[in-house]
Structure 1
């Protein structure tokens, strides 16, 4: 009975929060909790079938072990690809660093077990490290799952206005990442042919024209009428993309549902930002090259951790201090 109550309670809390405001960081955590508790509840329903429970546990264990062993190497490989294709910038090393960090946790944990007789305190430190790793892994998985769910909410939505967020030019050319956003914007426009499309992006120091101008030309070539395109050519950040575009729509007297288009890895953080800015708009994602997604999502994940730094810092302090506290109490 207890698993059922906990699962239904978590499901109810998530659904209520989701219906009230889907653009909340906490929704991701409640969604993950609801999935885990519902899974445990369904597992408890097989209590009379020992063979089935054994099979399920073996499958889960095998998947977990394989994933744990393959994941760090996959991240290191992805980091190498990012380094070669996207340039030698710190942001392109995130997947590489994440893979190496996971390997370091494995090595440290094994070392702590091997040398426990020589230095018993290593086990305590290893427990703290494992708890912190588990917390980061849980939050990351929660955000990943909820981001996928949220990005599918508005796939068929109609809108009065569509905002395409800029992401940088190559001189005066639209690069593939930005082209995917514009192509998604064209798809949205074809579903809402009465909508206006706002292209948002200023001119960088290494760009020959504003992003907005290049994006407008791209849309015209894709068949969007020039009369349906509005240029916002001052923004240099996502914050400004959203604020300046909404202000432009208000100046033009355009009301109704607004969709902002970005890449799929960037959808949820953009939605959270829009909520913080008190902007009434939804966010939809465009496809991204598969090799780019792991590093890009890790960057979004780190940005969200920093954005909610007080909550995450409190969790890190509590989890990190728990094993030492238990060890000290055991010696008293």
Structure 2
């Protein structure tokens, strides 16, 4: 009964949080807690039908095997693919490193089970608890990011902000082309509805780029039939936060006060929305499709970036959990 009460309470907080502002990271945490307490309530019941009880047991077994064996191998394979297709960088290494970390943690856990030393149990147990907390946050943010990307307003925008991504020389690569194609569809939909939104293309020039991202994006849009006079260039931004901040400044200069939508890739949608909220921008965020092989490393990068914005609460939670665990084990 306790789990049922907790599940209902966290579900209420989740609904209230979404109604207040869909762009809150706390919404993802409340969603995750609702699912955890709901599952615990379900498995703790004694009156479940036999078929459902068996199905839950099989589901747990499959989830454990998948997390311990299938997931790390899949991440390692994805990491190798990222290195071959996208080049060597820390961001492209994330899925490979995560897969190796899961395997290493599993090996250390097995070692701890065979060891009779208390300090080994204490250290390994602490690592497992921290890993479990990080995994909970990751799954919660992943699920809520999908929900956020599939919901929300899709029409009635006075301005469309397209966030830049890296160029290949002066050429728009497929990742950025997907954002521009999505923005073009939004523009045409608004025109068909009798509106005339402006499109802000935002992105500066990198050291390895022959032109600014904004200029290349403008050329791409014109080539797809978008009128030049509705395109506004923002060619200074080098980060997502700057994309939003500088684009808003340009729109303010032009007196645009209507609804605004930012377009990026689907893995990047929720972090962009979080940043827009922190900048106090009333902006929807819509995502374009991303190649499936690019998703794991890309979302891992987004996850790290979200945690890095406010690390102290997560450090405190881990410290409290590990402290309680060590007290039980050692004292």
Q: Would you say same fold, with TM above 0.5? A: yes
- Specify every segment of 5 or more residues in structure 2 that has no aligned partner in the other structure, as ranges: none
Please tell me whether the aligned partners of residues 204 and 214 of structure 2 are also in contact (alpha carbons under 8 angstroms).
yes
Please tell me whether the aligned partners of residues 159 and 259 of structure 2 are also in contact (alpha carbons under 8 angstroms).
yes
- Secondary structure of the residue aligned to 1:199 is strand
Q: Tell whether 2:304 aligns with 1:315.
A: no
Per-residue deviation, 1:322: 2.7
TM-score calculated relative to the size of structure 2:
0.94
Structure 1 residue corresponding to 2:182, chosen from 175, 181, 184: 184
Distance 1:211 1:52 in 2: 54
> Higher mean Cα deviation, 153-162 or 188-197?
153-162
From the superposition, tell whether residues 39 and 177 of structure 1 become closer, same or farther in structure 2 (CA, over 3 Å). Answer: same
Per-residue deviation, 1:327: 2.0
The Cα offsets for residues 277-328 of structure 1, whole Å up to 9 and x where unpaired, read as 1112111111111111100111111111111110111122222333221123
The Cα offsets for residues 158-197 of structure 1, whole Å up to 9 and x where unpaired, read as 3111000001211110011111111111121122122111
Q: Tell whether 2:30 aligns with 1:30.
A: yes
Structure 1 residue corresponding to 2:165, chosen from 164, 167, 170: 167
Per-residue deviation, 1:130: 1.2
Distance 1:325 1:40 in 2: 25
The Cα offsets for residues 123-156 of structure 1, whole Å up to 9 and x where unpaired, read as 2222111111110100000010011011112363
Number of the residue aligned with 1:70 = 70
Distance 2:44 2:327 in 1: 33
- Secondary structure of the residue aligned to 2:275 is helix
- Secondary structure of the residue aligned to 2:161 is strand
- Specify every segment of 5 or more residues in structure 1 that has no aligned partner in the other structure, as ranges: none
TM-score calculated relative to the size of structure 1:
0.93
From the superposition, tell whether residues 88 and 107 of structure 1 become closer, same or farther in structure 2 (CA, over 3 Å). Answer: same
Distance 2:307 2:118 in 1: 32
Please tell me whether the aligned partners of residues 68 and 103 of structure 2 are also in contact (alpha carbons under 8 angstroms).
no
Number of the residue aligned with 1:146 = 144
Number of the residue aligned with 2:12 = 12
Distance 2:141 2:155 in 1: 23
Distance 1:180 1:132 in 2: 37
Per-residue deviation, 1:48: 4.5
List 4+ stretches of structure 1 deviating above 3 A: 1-4, 38-46
Per-residue deviation, 1:2: 3.4
Distance 2:212 2:5 in 1: 56
Distance 1:144 1:51 in 2: 30
